[in-house]
Structure 1
Amino acid sequence: MEGASPTASNRISQHVVDLRAKARSAAAATRDWLFSHQHADGHWCAELEGDSILQSEYILLLAWLGKERTEIAKRCAEQLLKQQEPSGAWTQFPGAPIDVGSSVKAYFALKLTGHDPAADYMIRARNVILEAGGADKVNSFTRFYLAMLGQIPFDLCPAVPPEMILLPNWSPINIYRMSSWSRTIFVPLAIVWAHRPTRDIAEDVSIRELFINEPKDWPELRCPGIEKPRGLFSWDRFFRTADSGLKLLEKYKLRPLRKRALRLSEQWLLDRCEQSDGPGAIFPPILWGAIALMTLGYSAESPEVRYMLDHLERLAIDEGPATRLQPCKSPVWDTSISLRALAAAGSGLSQPQTCRGVEWLLSKEVRVPGDWTNNVDCEPGGWFFEYENAFYPDNDDTSMGIMALVDQLAAANISLELHPGDTLANTSVVVGGRGIAEQLAGPSAALMEQAAAATRRGIAWMTAMQNHDGGWGAFDKNNDAEFLCHVPFADHNAMIDPSTPDLSARVIESFGRLGVTIDSPGKVGDVVRKAVAYIRANQMSDGSWFGRWGVNYIYGTWQCLVGLRAVGVPADDPAIEQGKLWLLAHQQACGGWGESCMTYEDPSLRGQGSPTASQTAWAMLGLIAAGGANLPQVVRGAQYLMDTQRPDGAWDEVEFTGTGFPRVFYLKYHYYPIYFPLLALAEWNRATARS
């Protein structure tokens, strides 16, 4: 406010005071909305929306089973019609350009379920697909579906040899060098590739009309963003030569280790169904797992296959005449952030609803070893994303879960603090605060101790999971073998799980919430200092940070500002100042912030897009952390949220602001425009009250 007249300053101050009162009312309405949508056992879980491929691929599975004209298949087809763009295309998110693979699968699914190819919407789809390059340009996953339904030979799919499971961990190439999500798809898909199960379908439902060239002349498969390399020696050439060699061995049945590899693959797949909502607890490996088991001789009604199919059905949501599927469910994530937002708004453990939420969250802590133990020696701890996924806890949910516990206790004037030691063994989480015995007694006291123990294990686990570059990936440690991105199968753009600045900043934010700073001694202090160096090194030249798990630079910049400040990086640090200026420069005239998923394709568009409640909240939270709560721009952001709030306390948001695989698959978290605006308004109210 420097330079403003006293009268102007008074007007501004009074405006902020009035706005704070409105913000409290807005937050109260959202708090009530969240409580009204809480499940009886204490958790929250919103719809997690993906694009049309979920319906299309489910129909293609049903077609392979001979069930393409069933009621569920027809209902999924109705959803595909709802998702079709006016141009005739299907896209990765609303307003995006055509995605050829999605469009080919949707068109095929509609034909299989009985839709007339002469219908106007089918003609539009056919025309736009051909204009975009035809079925020739589909990715590896789509090729597998086409091969299974007799549209192309299996030889045109990339080699996925089951013998890979025999390679030891020390081998430069083995299944544990892949990201966890690729690994859980690779194993069942390798079984499918080995058996090549095909169902011949009637000619009148084939999609040869979408082929521009003969399949043998289709272009090479390649990861998005990786151009065909020049020169004699390259990883690209190596893997393509290997692909040809493996197919030649397959042709002449030179596969002495095949039976052993398939036996191990089968057991690996079944093992990962234990304590899980299906292998990996996400749609693709569950679907391919069902197909893999049936190719191995399991009947469709066997308990093992029924388990897979039941978990797919649990992802379905019926609405009117249509059914849509979710890629997975997000209860741990939704519950953790809801608890954080409610704590910021003043709803702590003194309220039975939040107490039940904390109890539920603690019940989901991972206490068994998973895939991460292949290169990490640590006591199990942390949280996963879904209802059950014990093999795959992740750093994002673990850090968010810890902060939910810390914030809920803090709302009851109880602190969890990390007391660093020279080693993790003598690092401890202690409970502090005044009046604990009076505030929390009996079961609540036990809950507090459980929270402290779970926090200690989570911090120890994340510390052990830190990558050599100082950052964190999601599920694995040092999962950064970039050469694997040249494998033809890697065209889903998610073959590895390297460090990302947004996730790394969230991890150190959780450390900071426990009192750890860049000045802390011992092992934990070293972990934070190394992470801060990584985040600094990955700041963009314009001051922003890339967001791997949310869209996109607004998400990354918010999280990096909050994470750096949480561990004691001062507000006047150049990195903080540059990030703050970038956010301020990208506020829109309405007072909100927005950014499109197109920024993954074209980074020059960063910070641009339709304003959304979730992205406005992220920008506000970043600016508040950077010391800008009283800036006029942040006040305008708060005003924007209040102006766009619905009477019931929620916000509307059609945009996709979550990221699955950049450039390939995006997500719409239906609670993002609920708990993030609540968190932002509550934090803004607290910050301005202190100033």
Structure 2
Amino acid sequence: MSVLPNTGDEPFTDYSRWRLVVDDVGNHTWDYVSEDRGSLAPQSEIEKYWLGLALNTPSLENATTPLQTAQNGFSFFKRLQHAGGHWPGEYGGPMFMLPFLVIGSFIVGAEIKREEKLEMIRYLFNRANEEDGGWGLHIEGPSTVLGTVLNYVALRLLGVEKDHPITAKARQKLHDLGGACKSPSWGKFWLALLNVYPYSGLNPIPPELWIFPQSLPIHPSKWWIHCRMVYLPMSYLYGVRYAIDENPLIISLRSELYTESYSSIDFSSKANDIALVDLYSPHTILYDTLTLFGNMYESVAPSFTTLSGLRSKALDKILSLIKAEDVNTSYQDIAPVSKMLNLISRYHAEGANFEDWIQSETYEKHSRTMRDFMWLGPDGMRVCGTNGSQCWDLAFLIQAILSTPLAADPSNRDTLERALGWLDRNQTRESVRGKEGVGNEWREETKGAWGFSTITQGYTLSDCTGEALKVVVRLQREFGFKEVVEEARLRDAVDVLLGMQNTDGGLGSYEKIRGPSFLEWINPAEVFGNNMAERSFVECTTSAITGLLEFNKHFTYRSEDIISAAKRATKYILSQQLPNGAWYGSWGICYTYGTLFALHFLSSIGLTYETSEAVRNGCEFLCSVQNDDGGWGESWTSCSTETYVPIRSQVVHTSWAVLALIYAEYPNPLPLKRGVRLVMSRQQPNGSWEQEDIEGIFNKTCAISYPN
């Protein structure tokens, strides 16, 4: 790597040469058009906006009413709609996605282009903690061992020298935190793949779990889908003890990552040695007991499993499941963490001859879709939590427009029509259960569903299906748009949602609840909470049931089932209200977000401030945490501490709170007016609002961005 600046303040590449390539369903990748590739088409406003380049947008007349503010905002946002109908955007925030992609690419020989490397380096430079030089679990978190060791390694693999000021400062922070031995299990596992940490320092991840009887309550098929799909390839790689060969860089890293010499460390004693700053979910006695038995098994596994063929059978089973996941998701997989682990697993199984490997279909498809997760912004290139949030963003934007007079403005019709067309193309029309392939029986029904991003990945999400269903029904039935999604397909969506309701009346994210709640007692991922088992969520329940109720206004299909589902969901929503009147939000920050969804749900069944004590309590909670300037602001730490933590007012949080009070028909207009005034006051002259603090969360600890 050429000599690098000491900061990432300025781009390391020519930003005028980057172009966003988007396919017909909204998958998007950034492409650097080098000079030898010929002339360049002018950059679009979408590209300039996301790169932080100057836009040729006019200053609008200063808004004096909420409607004028909305008009100005939409006039700007319309410019960012892609011709295909969706709004491209990033879904960044977590700081472990990029190093996993870099490490995985390094292991399997997948190319990261020079310009991509440079902007990845710049992103890590810009996201290093200004005070101590480390990195956290996400962009707003404090420096942790996991974030610091992984991103340090990523910089070194990308070509940054160990004595560069950024890496030198980061290494000092890593050593101050205790070195790589203090990393939680995910960090240690990835370091083991890279051959800079031995497998003797890991807790067991026996592949034989996957051939246990599915009736067992701890069988992996009962785990939450993201956990299941991460530990699937982890089990394979652990079972074969995969590690790359030594080379000079690996040997150097062994000397850089630890506070003592590599050869002197007793790694077998380090599996549970985790820095307090990383430790959110300590191991339970049950987990430690299972680990004890797992280690005993692993001590005899080499001879026992060779004789019985058990390990070989388990590895074959896992590999077949990995291949099915690759095919079913068009090689995007559910998220970049599992994707890169799947890629490494298949490299081990199929890459004995490297020249054949890089010509293989597996390599080509995995390498190509790897870029679906890479997003370029003003601060460099990050790796996102999925390949985007296209469906989720579009559904809420269009609903916002439909709730205002803007929907009747003829100049906005093309925007709405293109959005409807995008939803048409991105509804899944076939059932993955009907495909050949081991493991499809573990997948939720897909026919009729919408996913979080695009149809390509193919995973069902209850909330995205519910919100997309609302948009399609309203556009076609209330606003007279062409019926591109016929009733039969809407019925399929209804069937999906009704089939996902849990016995408690709520709905989960990807699947019905499959496993017992005590699965959390064997959570091996110390940095996350509530990540072992699917559970019902206030937000998912609201999105799904309000989607069904919107459908029920216009169609008779399964009407009684929908009313029954809404009644059961009402009991669930009311049961989740906390003593202070709030609801906990699991996917957004946090009590503001959860309370918004709950009050929206209750309003959809006719419960308002006047008629419901629960609604009154929810409103009083929101009013009690309103800031002096009229806005609302809540820290991401509310999610991990489970206590409301106020911060300076945020446009997003203020909008959530005002919407919640509107849904509830809160009788005192003053809190709403003060909140609206704050939102209006922060609008920019071109109609946009600036990005403030991070908005999303998952698994209690990891914040994630929703900049659209």
Q: What TM-score do the two structures reach when normalised by structure 2?
A: 0.80
Cα deviation 1:512-537 (Å, max 9, x = unaligned):
43457xxx984322221221111111
Task: Return the letter of the residue paired with 2:272.
Answer: E
Equivalent residue for 1:173, pick from 209, 212, 218? 218
**1: CA distance between counterparts of 2:379 and 2:587?**
32
Distance 1:111 1:275 in 2: 34
Match of 1:48 in 2: 91
- The answer for the alignment partner of 1:150 in structure 2 is 195
Distance 1:455 1:284 in 2: 33
Q: Which amino acid aligns with 2:374?
A: A
Q: Deviations over 1:52-107 (max 9, x none)?
A: 32222222223324689972444322211111011212123444222220111112
Look up the match of 1:590. 629
2:181 corresponds in structure 1 to 136
**1:257 paired to 2:304:** no
The worse-fitting range, judged by mean Cα deviation, of 22-31 and 638-647 is 22-31
Seq. identity, %: 20
Which one-letter code corresponds to 1:473 in the other structure?
Answer: G
Give, in whole Å, the separation in 1 of the partners of 2:296 and 2:636: 38
| Equivalent position to 2:510, from 468, 475, 487 | 475
Partner secondary structure for residue 705 of structure 2? strand
**Residue identity opposite 1:457 in structure 2:** D
CA contact (8 A) 2:609 2:666 kept: no
Whether contact under 8 Å (1:376, 1:477) holds in the other structure is no
Taking a change above 3 Å as real, the CA distance of residues 170 and 595 of structure 1, as seen in their structure-2 partners, is same
The counterpart of 1:271, out of the listed 303, 312, 324, is: 324
Among residues 337, 342, 356, which one is paired with 2:401 in the alignment? 342
Look up the match of 1:642.
680
Distance 1:595 1:168 in 2: 45
Q: 2:103 aligns with which of 34, 49, 60?
A: 60
Which deviates more from structure 2 when the two are superposed, residues 379-388 or residues 95-104? 379-388
CA distance in 1, matches of 2:559, 2:392: 31
Give 1:475 shift. 0.7
The equivalent residue for 1:288 is: 341
**1:34 aligns to 2:82 (yes or no):** no
8 A Cα contact 1:33 1:648, kept in partner: yes
Match of 2:488 in 1: 453
Question: Alpha carbon RMSD of aligned pairs, Å?
Answer: 3.0
- Secondary structure at 1:210 match in 2: coil
Is the contact made by 1:67 and 1:73 (CA closer than 8 Å) also made in structure 2? no
CA distance in 2, matches of 1:129, 1:543: 42
AA at the equivalent of 2:402: A
- 2:537 pairs with 1:500: yes
21-30 or 281-290: which moved more? 21-30
Q: 1:76 aligns with which of 113, 120, 134?
A: 120
In structure 1, the partner of 2:36 is none
Aligned equivalents of 2:153, 2:517: Cα separation in 1: 34
1:633 Cα offset (Å): 0.9
**Paired residue for 1:486?**
521
Residue identity matched to 2:303: Y
Does structure 2 conserve the Cα–Cα contact (< 8 Å) formed by 1:561 and 1:626? yes
TM-score (norm: length of structure 1): 0.82
Q: Quote the residue 2:420 is aligned against.
A: 358
Q: Deviations along 1:434-455, whole A, 9 cap, x unmatched?
A: xxxxx56xxx1x33xx254333
Q: Which residue in the other structure is 2:6 paired with?
A: none
Question: Is the 1:52–1:91 Cα contact (8 Å) retained in structure 2?
Answer: yes
Rounded Cα–Cα distance in structure 2 between residues aligned with 1:632 and 1:107: 50
Q: Is the 8 A contact 2:332 2:369 kept in 1?
A: no
Q: Name stretches of at least 5 consecutive residues in structure 1 with no aligned partner.
A: 1-18, 413-438, 672-691
Q: What is the Cα deviation at residue 238 of structure 1? A: 3.9
Q: Distance in 1 between matches of 2:447 and 2:107?
A: 40
Q: Deviations over 1:396-433 (max 9, x none)?
A: 10111112223434652xxxxxxxxxxxxxxxxxxxxx
Distance 1:287 1:228, change over 3 A: closer
Q: Aligned pair in 2 of structure 1 residues 505, 22: CA closer, same or farther (>3 Å)? A: same
Write the mapping of 1:318-333 to structure 2, written as runs, cut at 5 A.
318=376, 322-328=380-386, 329-333=388-392
SS of 1:655 mapped into structure 2: coil
Partner Cα separation in structure 2 for residue 112 and residue 274 of structure 1: 29
Query: Which of 150, 154, 158 lines up with 1:113 in the alignment?
Result: 158
Once the two structures are TM-superposed, the CA of residue 650 in structure 1 deviates from its matched residue by 1.7
Paired with 2:456 and 2:225, the residues of 1 have a C-alpha distance of 12
- Deviation for aligned residue 1:539: 1.0
Say if 1:150 and 1:201, in contact at 8 Å, map to a contact too. Answer: no
Number of residue equivalences: 613
Match of 2:252 among 204, 215, 218: 204
Q: CA 1:397/1:542 → structure 2, altered by over 3 Å: closer, same or farther? A: same
Secondary structure of the structure 2 residue equivalent to 1:634: helix
The C-alpha deviation readout for 1:487-542, integer Å capped at 9, x for no partner, is 363434322221122222232222343457xxx98432222122111111111111
Q: Is the 8 A contact 2:93 2:705 kept in 1?
A: yes
C-alpha separation in 1, matches of 2:344 and 2:75: 44
Question: 1:552-631 residue pairs with structure 2 within 5 A?
Answer: 552-572=590-610, 573-604=612-643, 606-628=644-666, 631=669
CA contact (8 A) 2:233 2:318 kept: yes
1:273 aligned counterpart, secondary structure: helix
Partner Cα distance (1:52, 1:60) in 2: 14
1:638-670 deviations in Å (ceiling 9; x for gaps): 11111101122221123211113321x221111
| Cα distance in 2, alignment partners of residues 543 and 248 from structure 1 | 53
In the alignment, is residue 304 of structure 1 matched against residue 354 of structure 2? Answer: no
Equivalence map 1:182-221=2 (5 Å): 182-199=227-244, 200-202=246-248, 203-211=251-259, 214-218=266-270, 220=272
CA distance in 2, matches of 1:187, 1:638: 48
Task: Indicate whether 1:247 and 2:298 are aligned.
Answer: yes
Amino acid at match of 1:496: A
**Partners in 1 of 2:538 and 2:598 — Cα distance?**
7
Q: Is 1:612–1:655's contact at 8 Å kept on the other side of the alignment?
A: yes
> Which residue of the partner structure matches residue 316 of structure 1?
374
Residues in 2 aligned to 1:136 and 1:484: alpha-carbon distance in whole angstroms: 27
- The alpha-carbon distance between structure 1 residues 77 and 206, as it changes in their structure 2 partners (threshold 3 A), is farther
